């Protein structure tokens, strides 16, 4: 039974920062921030969940079945993540590349304390706890003095794949495309730092400040951290409606308004970028059809341009109505990993990229999000994100781009560096 209390918040932006600072005392933290980005499908401006009452942590073996049982028996708020390597649960695949982070393949927890902020209205939900504790915590949060981050010394970031090696690998991918093994694939490379000591809170504050992305996440599970400035939604469920919003297509922002508009128009009219986006839209339509009511899959927006602080992105929106015979976790299992981070045809692509990539993706290109007590959910795509294992002092971030028959390896490499810019800035 959750105790629910409502509060009016005079300064929501300041309160979000106070919430995040207060949360650092707990072993488990999920802080989701939409950064007031104008989006049609947002349920909250900010959500904070802390302090596990129960949790599930597992490798990929039977992971979705375990999650389904946990979600259906708990029937409460659950927050956590799905790593890319859950592909091995869904298909006959493996992940044997190097992994410097060593996160569990799946982790969710049922929080004792939950804060939901929308506009000036804050809802606080505590599990089995008395009103006195809610009031004490609210007072403690409100009294925190927030000071903007002060950047500490940086760390030296290395690149796992050199430019020459990257071009060689993308050339091999083009050979697979010309041989008819695949049409499009998302190929990723890692940047990393060893013996790295960072302040995760400070790095997240800086990353969030320079990105202000709609699906930002600060995640902590003991000594494992995700600092995410993701612009992409993987999948959201509201009642029987499912919403997926894959991103394919990127161009850089410019401080010059004329140049910026040109970059946006170039992206909108670029035949290669549109072809990429349409291929993934088709893949998502197919994925959603597995659990959809007949004839309910619909493309609501195709190749629409959205602007973020760092880049312009091409995004499509696909919706469906869920057939009541399927559970919330069934939907995740039949659509995971997301099309924008794999390619088409999905299984063939996942085998090829596993052979050509140098690093196990882990939580990168997985998803972070929540289930509500009624079985609704919302998950992002873990991109534009820094991962940190405090115990072994390993920092990692990866970037990727879509390889199609029209791809020029050097240009794909430049796109990767553009996507890596914010994380480099934060860490170095």
Spell out the per-residue pLDDT of the chain, length 428, in tens: 788 999 999 999 999 999 999 999 999 999 999 999 988 898 999 999 999 999 999 999 999 999 999 999 999 999 999 999 999 999 999 999 999 999 999 999 999 999 999 999 999 999 976 668 999 999 999 999 987 666 666 899 999 999 999 999 999 999 999 999 999 999 999 999 999 999 999 999 999 999 999 999 999 999 999 999 999 999 999 999 999 999 999 999 999 999 999 999 999 999 989 999 999 999 999 999 999 999 999 999 999 999 999 899 999 999 999 999 999 999 999 999 999 999 999 999 999 999 999 999 999 999 999 999 999 999 999 999 999 999 999 999 999 999 999 999 999 999 999 999 999 999 98
Homologous superfamily in CATH for domain 2-148+159-427:
Anthranilate synthase (3.60.120.10)
Provide the terminal-to-terminal Cα distance of the chain, rounded to the nearest Å.
46
CA-based nearest residue to 226, from 216, 212, 213, 235 = 216
Cβ-based neighbour number of residue 140 at 10 Å: 12
Residue 264: the pLDDT is 96
The answer to whether the peptide bond before residue 107 is cis (omega within 30 degrees of 0) is: no
Cα separation of 369 and 35, whole Å?
Answer: 16
What is d(CA 166, CA 172) in angstroms, rounded to the nearest whole number? 10
Contacts for 265 with CB less than 8 Å, ≥ 6 apart: none
Torsion of CA 88, 331, 366, 253, to 10 degrees: 140
- What phi and psi, each to the nearest 5 degrees, are found at residue 47? -135, 135
CA dist 158 and 166 (Å) reads 14
Q: What is the pLDDT of residue 1?
A: 75
Is the separation of the CB atoms in 403 and 235 below 8 Å?
Answer: no
d(CA 187, CA 344): 12
Catalytic residues: 232, 248
Nearest by Cα to 165 from 421, 25, 359: 359
Give me the pLDDT at residue 237, please: 98
- How far is it, in rounded angstroms, from Cα 364 to Cα 7? 36
What are the structural domain ranges in the chain?
2-148+159-427
DSSP 359: B
pLDDT for the residue numbered 251: 92
């Amino acid at each position: 039974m959750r105790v629910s209390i409502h509060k009016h918040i005079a300064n929501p932006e300041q309160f979000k920062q106070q919430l995040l600072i207060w949360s650092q005392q707990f072993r488990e933290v999920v802080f989701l921030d939409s950064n007031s980005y104008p989006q049609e499908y947002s349920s909250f401006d900010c959500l904070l969940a802390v302090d596990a009452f129960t949790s599930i942590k597992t490798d990929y073996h039977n992971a979705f079945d375990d999650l389904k049982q946990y979600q259906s028996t708990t029937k409460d708020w659950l927050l956590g993540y799905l790593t890319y390597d859950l592909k091995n649960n869904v298909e006959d695949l493996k992940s044997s590349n190097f992994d410097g982070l060593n996160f569990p393949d799946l982790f969710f927890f049922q929080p004792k304390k939950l804060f939901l902020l929308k506009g000036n209205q804050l809802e606080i939900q505590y599990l089995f706890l008395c009103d006195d504790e809610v009031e004490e915590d609210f007072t403690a949060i409100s009294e925190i003095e927030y000071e903007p981050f002060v950047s500490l010394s940086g760390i030296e970031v290395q690149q796992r794949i050199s430019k020459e090696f990257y071009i060689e690998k993308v050339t091999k991918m083009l050979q697979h495309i010309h041989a008819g093994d695949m049409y499009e694939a998302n190929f990723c490379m890692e940047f990393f730092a060893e013996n790295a000591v960072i302040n995760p809170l400070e790095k997240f504050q800086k990353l969030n400040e320079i990105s202000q992305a709609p699906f930002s996440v600060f995640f902590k599970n003991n000594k494992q951290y995700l600092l995410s400035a993701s612009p992409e939604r993987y999948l959201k469920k509201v009642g029987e409606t499912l919403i997926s919003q894959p991103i394919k297509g990127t161009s850089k922002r410019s401080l010059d308004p004329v140049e910026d508009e040109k970059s946006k128009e170039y992206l909108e009219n670029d035949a290669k970028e549109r072809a990429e986006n349409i291929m993934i839209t088709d893949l998502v339509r197919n994925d959603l059809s597995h659990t959809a009511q007949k004839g309910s899959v619909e493309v609501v927006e195709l190749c629409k341009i959205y602007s973020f602080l760092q880049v312009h992105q091409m995004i499509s929106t696909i919706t469906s109505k869920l057939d009541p015979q399927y559970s919330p976790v069934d939907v995740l299992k039949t659509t995971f990993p997301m099309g924008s981070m794999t390619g088409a045809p999905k299984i063939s692509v996942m085998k090829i990229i596993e052979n050509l990539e140098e690093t196990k993706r882990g939580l990168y290109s997985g998803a972070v999000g929540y289930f509500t007590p009624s079985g609704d959910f919302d998950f992002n795509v873990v991109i534009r994100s820094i991962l940190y294992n405090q115990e072994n002092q390993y920092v990692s971030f990866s970037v990727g781009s879509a390889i199609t028959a029209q791809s020029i390896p050097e240009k794909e490499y430049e796109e990767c560096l553009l996507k890596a810019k914010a994380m480099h800035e934060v860490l170095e």
